[in-house]
Amino acid sequence: MILKIKRLHLHSREVQGFKEFLQVIKPSTHKNGFLQEVWQQLFNCLLSKADLPSLINETCSGEENLENLPAPLFEFQMTGQSYSIYNAVYAVAYSLHAAIQSKSLPREIQRVEFLDMQPWQLHNFLQEVSFNNSAGERVFFKDSREGPGGFDIINMITFPNRSFQRVKVGMLHPDAPKGKEVMIENRIFWHPGFNQLLPVSLCNNPCSPGYWKKRAEGRAFCCYDCVPCPEAKISNQTDMDDCFECSQDHYPNKKKKGCILKPVVFLHFKETLGVSLVSAALCFFFLTSWVLGTFIKHMDTPIVKANNWPLTYTLLVSLQLGFLSALLFLSQPGKVTCLLRQPTFGITFSVAISSVLSKTITVVVAFMATRPGSQMRKWLGRRLAFCIVLSCSLFQVCLCILWLLTSPPFPELDMHSEIQEMVLQCNEGSSSFFYCVLGYMGILAIASFIVAFLARKLPDSFNEAKFITFSMLAFCSVWISFFPAYLSTKGKAMVAVEVFSILSSSAALLGCIFLPKCYIIVFRPDLNHREQLRKRN
């Protein structure tokens, strides 16, 4: 006996009564032209009443037995094609029954007679049909209007007399779970020359996780190449058709076989960059405090009196707050932190620059007031300086309040800037308000620079326009370079750029305006006299 798997057949099952029907059907009892023609072809004869011309001399009686035919010529088992037709006929029959018996037909199907029903009127009923056929198998249609499919794996048992028998040994089901599409039944008997392992029909080895199957051009359809997954994609199963991306909060491992949860990071004072920025902010804060203490201690000296000490104290206090505001950027972003850090920075810097602008305008007004008959004397005094600082600062306060009421900043997780990290940062809410705050400070700084530059050569002992000019030049240079650096960075680097700009611009104001005066007060007290100041001018 030779046992061999020949091919796949359309799925079929044994239908009850089919074999008995074939045993009793005969042309003598069933007057059917199709049956008579098939009968003559199977037995190679002519029925006695056939009038067709033929070279065949034998006559059929119509009582021949189909079981006497050899198996290769005629089988008593229902084939897959016949089984599909059998199910299709019953599906149409059930649909017709449902259409005729329905009491809630659509408007276009209004109780038509059976003979007048059009095929398209059965579509809805055919889509919903579901029944068990006589073979015990459920027949239904899927969403794609496809019926139950699959293939039977058939073994052809060939005997010495050239007869054969079809034996179903398994099934190929395309809708089965992955890896279980092929089911081999236990009743298959292998030739003794074969081992007992299931046969493997593969062109190449399976693709391991981290790779995907790519169709091999110019080779058999079952052949493929195993290609490594591209960057940012993985495959975690064998023989995957394509790689896929990890979720936003995960990133692929080195072998691209799985995803790893991204850690949450932010710029804080425990890392090297954060330690450097916090140390610089605290150093400048204490330096500003020392300058403020020095000016308070020597407030009766000519150099302190000549520099409008109320504005000087306001400027120094705002610089202190500016240095401390940088610490808000180096803490964990939260709801309160995000709401406070940009407005605090904007308001304190506006007060500082407004004080510088007020000092410069005071110098110009004081010089003009020295001319005979000048009307500018009525503007002299602390009221002018106070009005300038208050009005310029109040506009920035109103801008920040409007920002917080309409589009307040809030904390968010940036999952795209870094491949292996999630950056916890503050979303500014409205970039327009953010740039308006910076733009307004830029307008104040440019105005201070222009006024100070024009007043740099005024011959007055209390003229500090030269120092203000250099400080504003440094201040504007820092913030002009801030914009391209800020826009070209992401994540923690953006925060570091802004903190660096805050510290460096504040240090420029502190160093250019106050350190020369502190040098005279502390190290050259002999120059801290009105006569010496007049000689220098």
pLDDT at 394 over 90: yes
Over residues 333-358, mean pLDDT: 90
pTM of this prediction? 0.61
CATH of domain 6-102+116-184: 3.40.50.2300
User: What tens digit of pLDDT does each residue of 293-306 get?
Assistant: 988 888 877 777 77
Over residues 259-281, mean pLDDT: 89
> In the prediction, which pLDDT does 528 show?
66
Over residues 318-345, mean pLDDT: 90
Q: Give me the DSSP letters along 373-397.
A: T-GGGGG-SHHHHHHHHHHHHHHHH
Strands 244-245 and 250-252: unpaired
> In the prediction, which pLDDT does 3 show?
45
> In the prediction, which pLDDT does 216 show?
76
**In the chain, domain spans:** 6-102+116-184, 211-261, 272-460
User: Topology of domain 272-460, per CATH?
Assistant: Rhopdopsin 7-helix transmembrane proteins (1.20.1070)
Over residues 207-218, mean pLDDT: 85
Q: How far is CA 416 from CA 262, 271, 485, 486, 524, in A?
A: 11, 22, 19, 17, 57
Burial of 403 (0-12, 13-18, 19+ CB in 10 A): buried
pLDDT at 515 over 50: yes
Question: Does 248 or 364 have the greater pLDDT score?
Answer: 248
The CA-CA-CA angle for residues 258, 260, 266, to 5°, reads: 160
pLDDT band at 281 (very low <50, low <70, confident <90, very high): very high
Over residues 113-141, mean pLDDT: 75
